[in-house]
């Protein structure tokens, strides 16, 4: 059987923009609100402490799109100079079930993770938000840096200052190098501490390693009272008080509550009754997008985002057929 293989550089060469992916994610969340998408909560195995390999399947009837992502997250890889996140996306033909594509998942994951935060900021950040902070300047943090100031129309049109903190200064240097060209209107500021980074910020995003026993890096007392806090790292970035003291949203209600019910993550984060909305309800206008006060968002990442990004890739392949055909 023949399949098409797409490497990370094949995908990167297609020239997808952050705005295209953000718009696709908004549409994906609207689809989730109006039709029955098969999107089971991701399940995983944990071969080493704090390490996971997740299985993330999804089928979207109106797009007739089916795939599964098999993605590993290994915080211990940083010291080995290996990527934290790696994996594959397998795309099936829904008619026959045959595998059509096997592709790298790292590019799709990073760009759709940054895009999801960008959409969240677009919908929930204060009008005129001018200061944003990113804690954890790795691959996901950098993609977030591309989404917040750069995507036009911008997620944060009034953004003047983007503050960055990472335990490893070289990571901040890499972030600045990659984000600066697409953020000409924002000053990129290297912060000396997490506290300095998040102080006075209208939007705070964390993208640090997910730990089974979290040691949150952002305390509520360091934050403005009017702030949007977005966690890309489950419950590892923000002290639970940040998420329980104000309005709380997540990317997908089912996935968040299922994961919480398994007893490891989100044990001190809001329960079902404390959940204002998930992003599909906000994108569809079913629940209001509140832009004042303390707002917390947990964006765990859902396979629906991968489907929407892969649909963009498939469309680009029609005019730019990169990739390699392989016999499997």
Ligand X SMILES: NC(=O)c1ccc[n+]([C@@H]2O[C@H](COP(=O)([O-])OP(=O)(O)OC[C@H]3O[C@@H](n4cnc5c(N)ncnc54)[C@H](O)[C@@H]3O)[C@@H](O)[C@H]2O)c1
What lies within 8 Å, CB to CB, of 208 at 6+ separation is 135, 136, 217, 233, 236, 237
What lies within 8 Å, CB to CB, of 315 at 6+ separation is none
- Which residue number, 3 or 151, has a Cβ lying nearer to ligand X? 151
Whether 208 and 237 have beta carbons less than 8 Å apart is answered as: yes
Region near ligand X per CB under 6 A, out of 40-48, 58-66, 271-279, 294-302: 294-302
Subset of 101-130 contacting ligand X (CB under 6 A): 109, 113
User: Taking CB under 6 A as the rule, does residue 67 contact ligand X?
Assistant: no
User: Taking CB under 6 A as the rule, does residue 137 contact ligand X?
Assistant: yes
Tell me the per-residue interface mask from 203 to 242 with ligand X, x by CB under 6 A, - otherwise: ----xxxx------x--------------xx---------
Q: Name the strands in the sheet holding 99-104, side by side, starting at the edge strand that comes first in the sequence.
A: 43-45, 52-60, 65-73, 85-92, 99-104, 2-6, 324-327
Tell me the per-residue interface mask from 76 to 95 with ligand X, x by CB under 6 A, - otherwise: --x-----xx----------
Token code pair at residue 309? 């990004």
User: Taking CB under 6 A as the rule, does residue 140 contact ligand X?
Assistant: yes
User: CB of 269: closest distance to ligand X in angstroms?
Assistant: 14
The upper half-sphere exposure of residue 310, i.e. CA atoms within 13 Å in the direction of its Cβ, equals: 29
Region near ligand X per CB under 6 A, out of 42-50, 156-164, 165-173, 277-285: 165-173
| CB atoms near residue 41 (< 10 Å) | 17
User: CB of 68: closest distance to ligand X in angstroms?
Assistant: 16
User: Taking CB under 6 A as the rule, does residue 300 contact ligand X?
Assistant: yes
User: CB of 116: closest distance to ligand X in angstroms?
Assistant: 6
Q: Identify the three-state secondary structure at position 86.
A: strand
Estimate the crossing angle of helix 106-124 against helix 18-34, to 10 degrees.
70
Token code pair at residue 18? 């952050």
User: CB of 149: closest distance to ligand X in angstroms?
Assistant: 18
- Which residue number, 3 or 162, has a Cβ lying nearer to ligand X? 162
- Which residue number, 36 or 80, has a Cβ lying nearer to ligand X? 80
User: CB of 120: closest distance to ligand X in angstroms?
Assistant: 11
Token code pair at residue 38? 């098969």
Q: What is the Cα–Cα distance from 295 to 73, expressed in whole angstroms? A: 27
User: Taking CB under 6 A as the rule, does residue 191 contact ligand X?
Assistant: no
**260 alpha-carbon distance from chain centroid:** 18
Whether 208 and 198 have beta carbons less than 8 Å apart is answered as: no
Residues in the site for ligand X, rule: CB under 6 A? Answer: 73, 78, 84-85, 109, 113, 135-141, 165-168, 171, 207-210, 217, 232-233, 299-301
């Amino acid at each position: 059987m023949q399949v098409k293989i797409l490497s990370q550089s094949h995908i990167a060469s297609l020239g997808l923009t952050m705005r295209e992916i953000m718009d696709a994610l908004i549409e994906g969340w609207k689809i989730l609100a109006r039709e029955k998408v098969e999107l089971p909560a991701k399940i995983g195995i944990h071969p080493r402490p704090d390490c996971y390999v997740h299985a993330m399947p999804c089928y979207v009837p109106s797009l007739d799109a089916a795939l599964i992502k098999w993605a590993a997250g290994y915080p211990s890889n940083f010291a080995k100079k290996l990527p934290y996140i790696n994996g594959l996306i397998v795309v099936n033909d829904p008619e026959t079930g045959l595998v059509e594509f096997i592709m790298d998942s790292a590019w799709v994951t990073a760009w759709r993770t940054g895009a999801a935060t960008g959409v969240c900021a677009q919908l929930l950040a204060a009008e005129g938000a001018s200061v944003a902070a990113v804690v954890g300047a790795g691959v996901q943090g950098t993609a977030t840096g591309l989404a917040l100031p750069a995507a036009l129309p911008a997620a944060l049109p009034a953004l003047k200052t983007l503050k960055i903190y990472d335990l490893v200064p070289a990571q901040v240097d890499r972030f600045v190098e990659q984000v600066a060209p697409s953020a000409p209107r924002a000053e990129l500021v290297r912060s000396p501490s997490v506290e300095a980074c998040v102080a006075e910020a209208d939007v705070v995003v964390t993208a640090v390693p997910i730990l089974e026993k979290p040691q949150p890096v952002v305390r509520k007392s360091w934050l403005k009272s009017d702030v949007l806090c977005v966690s890309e790292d489950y419950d590892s970035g923000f002290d639970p008080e940040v998420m329980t003291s104000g309005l709380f949203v997540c990317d997908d209600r089912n996935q968040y509550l299922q994961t919480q019910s398994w007893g490891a993550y989100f044990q001190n984060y809001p329960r079902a009754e404390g959940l204002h909305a998930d992003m599909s309800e906000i994108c569809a206008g079913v629940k209001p997008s509140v832009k004042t006060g303390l707002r917390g968002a947990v964006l765990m990442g859902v396979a629906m985002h991968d489907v929407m990004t892969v649909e963009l890739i498939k469309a680009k392949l029609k005019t730019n057929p990169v990739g390699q055909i392989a016999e499997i």
